[in-house]
Structure 1
Amino acid sequence: MIPEPARIAVDTAIDDALARLADRAKGHGDSMTALTAAVSAATAGGKRLRPQLVVGSFLAVGGDLERAPGLYPVAAAFELLHSAFVIHDDVIDHDVTRRGVPNVAGRFRMRARAQGADSRGAALLGDAAAILAGDLLLHEATRMVALADTPDAQRSRLLDLLDEAVFVSAAGELADVENSVTPELAEQDEILAATFNKTAVYSFTAPLCAGAILAGAPSTWITDLERIGGSLGLAFQLVDDLIGAFGTAEQAGKDAGSDLRESKRTPLIALARDSAQWPLVTSTLAVAHTGPIAVREAQSALEASGARERLRRLIDENLADVRRRASRSTLPPRAVTLVDTLATAVEERIP
């Protein structure tokens, strides 16, 4: 999506930020050294979608890589923000692995057990370490934007973007958890709102707008990208919900059908409620945690309810809206092409 030199520059900015944290940890004991090592491991690899969106948007609206020294730290900041949210999300979901290897909480649980802690103490240390790791990355992301070599007016707008992204994501995560613990299933629009807030702003809207701001794009283009990013982000998260229910373990980064095992109340489940098969769906979901056979039965019930097909239509509608908005906007042709490429990439993830 972006030129190789730009990708390398983003990776270098991320590595430099992590190295700064590791260097600071040296004077604060072995546990902090272990924490920053866990942070680096949690941030390693991945597609680094959000930094690519920052740089891709910057280039698509006419930005010059030779005249934007603050571009790469800002792009890197969005990857650190993503890593922080992932680490905190694992704490909320009580996950101790990610993509088959121990996450921050898992590493520190192992560390605690090696030091003689019981299971309760190991869980306490694991969760505490993960929360603190996410906090460090949130602060580092903000610091990188605040210190980026950009004009003051741009920096202020970028910090506003980051502020909104953090706040809205927190609101979405809180609503998502609250929906999961209340006896009654929330209304479909409430579940969709939580889904949107969790991902769309920080993953798509803010990075796309950040790149355009750094390029000095007119406000009309930034407004267009904000609206397009929202629909892209919602479609992306809805695909994630399909992956969590029907995707492979490789796609999900955890056991296949993990969302069904954990009884997550996603838009997929909300759509099933309106069908005649809802009693069957609820009964199969109630035992999905017991193993692969029960997961397959829950998947079959959801298929029979029509929820999977309806969710797929909702994804298609959002992506059609993305392409329609881009084609009717005042965005330059390169930006319209970028939007179409992103919409296609979201489609290709559908299980």
Structure 2
Amino acid sequence: MIGAVLERPTRLGTADVEAFIDAFFTERATRASSCGDDYLRLWDAARSSSTGGKRLRPELVLAAHAAYAERGAATQRGDAAAVQLAAAFELLHTAFLMHDDVIDHDLERRGAPNVTARFMREALARGVGEPRSREYGEAAAILAGDLLISSAHRIVAGLDAATEVRTALLDVLDECVLLTAAGELADVRQSTASPGPHEIVAMIEQKTAAYSFSGPLRAGALLGGAPAPSVASLGEVGRHLGVAFQLRDDVLGVFGSASLTGKTVTGDLREGKQTLLVAFAREHHGWGAVAGDFGRPDLDEEAAARLRTAIIASGALDRVETMIGERCAEAVAAIEAGGFPETLRDELVATAGRCVERVR
């Protein structure tokens, strides 16, 4: 399910979501045009930022919805609502990425200039100094992210669904924002400290698992009419999948291929990102010899290679790989015990496998 077609095609696909998102940005651009060229460029940058992703969250929404939705006279209405719900989660994801790039002072996302970089370059071209140009770019990215968070809520609030269902879905979306913000704050705090493995995993559950896996699965099932126990069980499955997914992401951020992941494999080491790899490596006596390189703004590939060697020698990479496998096994156990429809069960088991195997 991750970045690929579902094992068994659902009634709807991400192409339907893409069409909705495209129409959404077209409508927003039309409205923005009356507010000046700069504001129109902001929406154009937001549209560009929404392209090129794995569309993981929409896939999860659609798969969970299809597993429980009744086929009948209301099928077309239900399918349209599912597409809109899936798009709302993708817009929320795009917003979080924009804000995350500001927090991390990044200028690139998915191998291309992000919102900050676009507006920063425009200011530089006008002769504005670099510090002020960056401030302008980061302000634009914050505003773009805010607009998409608001839009996600607006889309869900307008779904053609029973009032109690819309209320429950808005509660899920609100919880995703609440937990992700808590996780982001914890992540920033951890960059100024030396967090232990338990703290890092707790942060991942909030920052990534809540809105990337648990939220979409629960929301899709709620819209499809799933019973409350099934919705709760999907939330637990999503928690395990989210941790496994992020741990694999952290491994790829240091040991992956830039041509496949679309991001540098020295960025996390240069930034001094406190991942589980680093937490485990710090426990080893050999880390002290390279600790001075970790978090260096001018980190080069030679120093990064020394850090990678130290991480491997400490056993940290093996320990994280083991944890990824364990989390996926816990997810599979929860899937098997969840009593989900067969198609959804098979798709979730396949997703767990991809959390272990993915290379991008």
Place the TM-score, normalised by the shorter chain, in its bin.
Answer: over 0.9
> Greater CA deviation, 254-263 or 224-233?
254-263
Give the TM-score normalised by structure 1.
0.95
Please say if residues 287 and 294 of structure 1, whose CA atoms lie closer than 8 Å, have aligned partners that are also in contact: no
* Structure 1 match to 2:264: 255
SS at match of 2:285: coil
1:96 aligns with 2:103: no
Match of 1:85 among 87, 96, 104: 96
Separation in 2, partners of 1:156, 1:286: 44
* Structure 2 match to 1:328: 337
- Provide, for residues 105-146 of structure 1, a one-character-per-residue CA deviation record: whole Å limited to 9, x for no partner: 000011111222111121111000000000111111110000
CA-CA distance at 1:257 after TM superposition:
2.6
Amino acid at match of 1:24: R
Separation in 1, partners of 2:12, 2:202: 38
- Provide, for residues 194-246 of structure 1, a one-character-per-residue CA deviation record: whole Å limited to 9, x for no partner: 12211001000000011101110111111110100000001101111101111
1:143 aligns with 2:150: no
Match of 2:247 among 211, 220, 238: 238
1:106 aligns with 2:113: no
* Structure 2: runs of 5+ lacking an equivalent: 1-5
1:36 aligns with 2:43: yes
Q: Structure 2 vs 1, CA of residues 13 and 321 (structure 1 numbering), >3 Å: closer, same or farther? A: same
> Greater CA deviation, 130-139 or 262-271?
262-271
Amino acid at match of 1:26: S
Give the aligned CA root-mean-square deviation in angstroms.
Answer: 1.7
Aligned pairs (5 A) from 1:1-351: 1=6, 2-3=9-10, 5-64=12-71, 65-68=75-78, 69-182=80-193, 185-285=194-294, 287=296, 289-349=298-358
> Greater CA deviation, 95-104 or 80-89?
95-104
CA-CA distance at 1:283 after TM superposition:
3.6
Please say if residues 293 and 299 of structure 2, whose CA atoms lie closer than 8 Å, have aligned partners that are also in contact: no
Amino acid at match of 1:308: L
Count of residue pairs the alignment pairs up:
349
Amino acid at match of 2:65: F
Separation in 2, partners of 1:139, 1:100: 26
SS at match of 1:282: coil
CA-CA distance at 1:66 after TM superposition:
3.3
* Structure 1: runs of 5+ lacking an equivalent: none
Amino acid at match of 1:117: V
CA-CA distance at 1:267 after TM superposition:
1.3
Separation in 2, partners of 1:8, 1:285: 42
Please say if residues 212 and 222 of structure 1, whose CA atoms lie closer than 8 Å, have aligned partners that are also in contact: yes
Q: Structure 2 vs 1, CA of residues 62 and 152 (structure 1 numbering), >3 Å: closer, same or farther? A: closer
- Provide, for residues 84-116 of structure 1, a one-character-per-residue CA deviation record: whole Å limited to 9, x for no partner: 000111101111112332110000011111222
Give the TM-score normalised by structure 2.
0.93
Separation in 1, partners of 2:147, 2:297: 36
